[in-house]
Amino acid sequence: MLKINGKDYDVKFNMQFANRLIEDYAVKNNDGQVTLDGFSHLINDLVDCQPEAIINAYRYALDVPTKQLPSLNDVAQGLEEAGVFKNPDVLSDLFKKLKDNGFLMLKLKAYLKSRQNIVDVSKKVLSGLTDKDQKESATIDLKSAEAGLTQIKKELKQLEK
């Protein structure tokens, strides 16, 4: 239960939450095309310890019709008043709530698999190159993808504690 502007809201990390998150928290380019789905965006923000991840996650988890969601500022104020931000484990607690939902756990596995696929494709591209400059560039891309995947896995393990 979360009190916002004097009203009590149930907080549910369920399918309604997932649908809102995937669509509404997506990153879009200037043409309105999704460049990063909302779930991946949230995981990236959690890994980066962004407080906005907490606010957005709780907002999308409020058990009300989407058109009745309070503003981000109101949710942030409600979380502040509830002492959520004072909890040193707030990010870990939020991550655990996400993992407790089967669908969201599957989304997390898909997210990690997509990151691994980037590494795998980078390796294949590198193995097929013969030009020295292209190989150098592809090697840098591969190392970056591998480092990114390693860092994400490390941060997710930290969130699980």
Gap between the Cα atoms of 101 and 42, Å rounded:
15
Token pair of 89, please?
Answer: 């484990």
**Quick check: 79 and 71 in contact, CB under 8 A?**
no
- The reported pLDDT for the residue numbered 157 is 83
Token pair of 92, please?
Answer: 């870990």
Token pair of 56, please?
Answer: 């957005």
pTM of the model: 0.78
Orientation angle between helical segments 90-100 and 51-61, nearest 10 degrees: 40
Q: How is the chain split into domains, by residue range?
A: 2-160
DSSP-derived letter for residue 67 is G
Query: How does pLDDT run along the chain (161 residues), one tens digit per residue?
Result: 999 999 999 999 988 998 999 889 999 999 989 898 898 899 889 888 899 999 999 999 999 999 999 999 999 999 999 999 999 999 989 988 888 887 778 888 888 898 899 999 999 988 988 888 899 998 998 999 898 888 888 888 887 77
